[in-house]
Structure 1
Amino acid sequence: MVDDKKKDNTASGLAIEEGNHVGGYAISESFGILIRHYRMKVKDLSLKQLEEMSQVSSSYINRLERGEKTSPSLPVVFSLAESLEIPYSVLMATIFQKTDDKEQGQPSISDVLIQSNFALNDQALSKEARSILITINEFLVNCQWDAGSKVKELYMLSEMLDEFKSAI
């Protein structure tokens, strides 16, 4: 079973230590969130079930998900990706983030929606649906949401959601 106590620094078991930067990249905080999302929401697996599938200890998976461990070895990453049926490219993109990005600030949700290709319920979103989703996001960020505007803003949001649902 692969565990955090076994850190092999050979080419096949490269471990990236916390706080280290490899080639201008650092471990992203999103890695644990992604693993937990796929385990619980997509695959509906317990920690023990994922342990049995991946041969990665449930305690180590739990610490990865909570962000207590941020240095998974590549065999752990590949085993989890295979067990959860996450494309390696998605998992690797989530693990590594450019250190330059931290210095420049985090991208806005609108930037991410514009720059990323993604699916909703295994269906690619059309250009129109993505545009509406960006509009909804910007509306949510900019709405006042106080006692005097709540009803009007809820109505406007419901209209945008109707438009979004008809576009997908």
Structure 2
Amino acid sequence: MKELTLNKQEFDQRMSKFENQSPSKVNINKLDEFDNAVKNVEFSEPSLQFYYRKKISKVRLNALKAQGKNCTKWDMFYNDVMSDENPKAEPLKKILNVLNDENIPVEKLENVISTAEKELKSEEVLTYINSLQVFDKDRLNTELSKKLKHLRTKLNRNIPNDFGVWIDQLRKSRGLSFRALQEKSGVSASYIHRIISGERQRPTIPVIEQLAEALGVDKAEFFTKLNMKPTESEKEQTISQLLSLNDYTINGVSVTRKQKTAILELLTGIINAKWSTETQFDESIQIMKSIGTLKKALVEDEE
């Protein structure tokens, strides 16, 4: 790749013709050409590529929506992967094709989700993911996490018919009123009543744990009754989400978006480094550049 030195001002000048246009008039083909150019450049500051491509992606999504494409972030991500001619993308394409089906029968969702989660950890899929640039990897992790969470939520909407009856039998056998169970579990009486009456979707894992303890039942029984797996994967975040989407401070000062991007770039470079005899020198140089980018971002915001 050709090395190109760009600063934010120069990038903004290149982007201005797209950003200053009404989204309905943006030439998406030309915007995609610009994105491809950015993808194929080795920037002197690696975090710039992530920042630039994220900005291009935002303009592109707004343009697609304004031009009647009815496009979501998932749609754009899905279409981009499907158009990737890299043969190594094929295993991921198969997974996305399954997940993209909005008509998956509820009774098959659990198997679809667990199969996808397993296949996403396969060596062939991880090989492709690890070959991606930081922006593409971040988008992939974000969109897949959201899609799997959406499917899991869809699966969890319906409570098995006998679950409410079972909970009510447990409550009565313990001699507990709704109010007493509320006080013992910390779960509101109205919430418990809606679970029993079938008006509430499946309870969350924390609620299951609270009710199980209050009723003296192993929480594994709850999972069995609800056809759930005892996992808290929905609470988990990818490292990119953790660093990009949450607020935190450095030395008591709130971290800016630019600083978050630099932190993510540095950490990604360290994690992805092979650190072999052949690559260690070049990788250390790249990591040092990322450190420089982060330090510069920190200093700029102090001034």
Q: So what's the TM-score if we normalise by structure 2?
A: 0.24
Structure number with the higher helix fraction is: 2
Question: RCO (CA 8 Å, sep 6+): is it higher in 1 or 2?
Answer: 1
* TM-score (structure 1 length as normaliser): 0.42
Larger Rg: 2
